[in-house]
Amino acid sequence: GSKGLGFSIAGGVGNEHVAGDTGIYVTKIIDGGAAYHDGRLRVGDKILAVDNVILENVTHEFAVNTLKQTASKVTLVYLKNPHPELLPNFDDSGNRSLGAPPTPARSAASLHHDSFDTQQSFHTIAQQELPLGPRIVHLNRGMQGLGFNIVGGEDGEPIYISYVLPGGVADLSGNVRKGDVLLQVNGVNLRNATHAEAARALKEAMNPVSLTLQYRPQEYGQFEAKIDQLRRDLISGGAVTFGGPRKELFVRAMFDYDPAREAGVPHRALPFFYGDILHVTNVADDDWWTARLVTESGEEGMEGIIPSKKELKRRNDNGENRCIYCKVNFNAGSQSLPRGMDGRRGSRSQLSFSRKFPFVKSTDKLNEFTDNELGATEDPIMSYVAVERQQINYPRPVIILGAMKDRINDELVLRDRDRFSSCVPHTSRPPKPNEIDGRDYHFVSKEQMQEDVRNNQFIEAGQFQDNLYGTSINSVREVAEMGRHCILDVSGNAIRRLQSIANIYPIAVFVKPQTPHQIMEWDHSINEDDAHTIYQRCQRTEQNFGDLFTAAVSGQTFEDLIRRVLNVIAEQSRPHAWVPSRAQVF
């Protein structure tokens, strides 16, 4: 009939009807239409799906076209008025702004299906009260799985459903809730199951999947409160007051992620930046993990979901462009690169680090370790790196990698000698006139230095003109004992050695040029050919050692770089730091 579906909508990506929400909202029910006669849909309700099409993070035009293409029987999945406090703002016609600026006229559309008969009807699904006794729910697994996450299964706790993916299979059924206890899957009893056993049962369950659930919201609330207390105890270093040990996974993100730049992602997808710390609380879903952002002080933000490691690998394997902005390091390794890569023709300071290490232009390194010896990961995808919060009672060494490293090293020491210092290197060559042992170098015999290298006393060493040069672990510690940050001119491999051999966690800052031209802006003495060479080396450094960076910085000018490097050092000089751990990132 001429009334069609009989309601108007507003909202969508780029045309929000509710501030901060890209959802599709009902703004008017037309007298005499199908929605009017059905009686269940109301102004202010949020449309989640139409038939099998999810309307999360879609444009207004997409939603309009989806509704126009429906058949005579329409299934709507909707959320009953999520903003009741804003209802009084509706005028008599049913139009309103929901607290947002006035919506352009194009954002509301009456959907008429003139070609369909007047019997057009709705089958609506809204969240209703669930019985508190056990109930059986039948689901058919979709392309994105069953659409929910589970927690629990330790210390005798039941398996809880902790998250239901909006628009997923479980959500569309209307029969699965956060706070449900999972009692059985396809006849497999999970009443005393571990988390791993429950996850395996769900993954192996064949369609149709039969779930026995029991809604226990109060019990689940107590469980969440207990987990929050445990998390606070772990972060503060306090004692755990209940239960046995739990698996806690904290990771550092090695890429930027902006879900707003993707189509079709879950609405709870969590944006984050390179270097952010994430507390991963659930990895049961193959594609999306549940996580919280963690601040430098250890406090945690709102819970959301992030793409799993498996999902990122799938995108990479498929050559998808939807995540090119993520800058995931898909080619991690431990190849050593020649140092002195920033193209400088000399230092304006007598403190030049490359002057003290003449082997920087040589690849003849004495203590190159294999990946296994350094505890390097065999996983080529460095999307997330496992970390743990550790108390730091020493000034952490500083390692600058990438462009302008020599000049930045010199500037740090020149600007604040009480805070930054180079360490005294070792060499097997004899002293020159005016050189003093222990000030300019530690002068040792070649045999002694070779023995110390074999005994892992050096974080990096090399040979130049038959003489040995290197940086010892003890020299780094001596600077820290003076209360200063030791400025180290070393390769990325030295970061692993400091961590795995000396249990020292340096602040590793990567100076990232966006283009070769930017390098020339930072140092006007660098010509175009050299800038391209430096840029390519920086790309290889990021590829080979990206998983070891504490932070990556860039800027318009050299002064911007110095300021941002100093900010990173200040942020990383707190009593606690997030350092690499040996935990497995699934």
Q: Both tokens of residue 278?
A: 């994430």
Tell me whether the CATH fold assigned to 7-79 matches the one assigned to 250-318.
no
Q: Both tokens of residue 274?
A: 């390179």
Q: Tokens 């016609």 belong to which residue? A: 93
Which residues of the chain are modeled with pLDDT < 70? 1-4, 52, 72, 84-131, 143-144, 166-167, 227-248, 262-267, 297, 318-382, 584-586
For the four alpha carbons of 324, 268, 133 and 131, in that order, the dihedral sign comes to negative
Q: Give 506-525 pLDDT, tens digit per residue.
A: 999 999 999 999 999 999 99
Asked whether the beta carbons of 251 and 108 are under 8 A apart, the reply is: no
- Number of Cβ atoms within 10 Å of the Cβ of 414: 12
Within 8 A by CB and 6+ apart from 570, the residues are none
As its CATH architecture, domain 392-580 has 3-Layer(aba) Sandwich (3.40)
pTM of the entire predicted model = 0.52
Amino acid (one-letter) located at 206: M
What CATH number matches the domain at 250-318, 3.20.20.60, 1.10.10.10, 2.60.40.10, 2.30.30.40? Answer: 2.30.30.40
| CA gyration radius, the chain | 30
Point out which residues pair with 389 in neighbouring strands. Answer: 578
Q: According to the 3-state scheme, what is the secondary structure of 482-506?
A: CCCEEEECCCHHHHHHHHHCCCCCC
* Rounded Cα distance, 474 and 238, in Å: 32
Instruction: Please give the CATH topology (third level) of the domain spanning 7-79.
Output: Pdz3 Domain (2.30.42)
Q: According to the 3-state scheme, what is the secondary structure of 55-70?
A: CCCCCHHHHHHHHHCC
Asked whether the beta carbons of 281 and 304 are under 8 A apart, the reply is: no
Q: Of 130, 106, 232, 129, which is closest to residue 181 (Cα–Cα)?
A: 130
Residues counted in the chain? 586
Domain boundaries, given as residue ranges, for the chain: 7-79, 135-223, 250-318, 392-580
* Rounded Cα distance, 86 and 89, in Å: 6
Q: Both tokens of residue 505?
A: 């966690």
Find the largest Cα–Cα distance for the chain: 103
Q: How far is CA 179 from CA 189, 203, 214, 230, 444, in A?
A: 18, 20, 9, 19, 67
* Rounded Cα distance, 113 and 495, in Å: 66
User: What is the bridge-based pairing of β-strands 420-422 and 485-488?
Assistant: parallel
* Rounded Cα distance, 223 and 203, in Å: 24
Q: Both tokens of residue 131?
A: 């019985």
Asked whether the beta carbons of 126 and 196 are under 8 A apart, the reply is: no
Point out which residues pair with 211 in neighbouring strands. Answer: 137, 185
Point out which residues pair with 21 in neighbouring strands. Answer: 18
Please tell me whether the peptide bond between 307 and the residue prior to it is cis, using omega within 30 degrees of 0: no
The continuous run of DSSP H or E covering 427 comes out as strand 426-427
Q: How far is CA 323 from CA 305, 364, 572, in A?
A: 16, 39, 29
Q: How many Å separate Cα 276 from the centre of its chain?
A: 6
* Rounded Cα distance, 398 and 488, in Å: 6
Amino acid (one-letter) located at 127: Q
Helix/strand/coil for 555 = coil
Instruction: Please give the CATH topology (third level) of the domain spanning 135-223.
Output: Pdz3 Domain (2.30.42)
Q: Of 43, 53, 57, 49, which is closest to residue 9 (Cα–Cα)?
A: 43
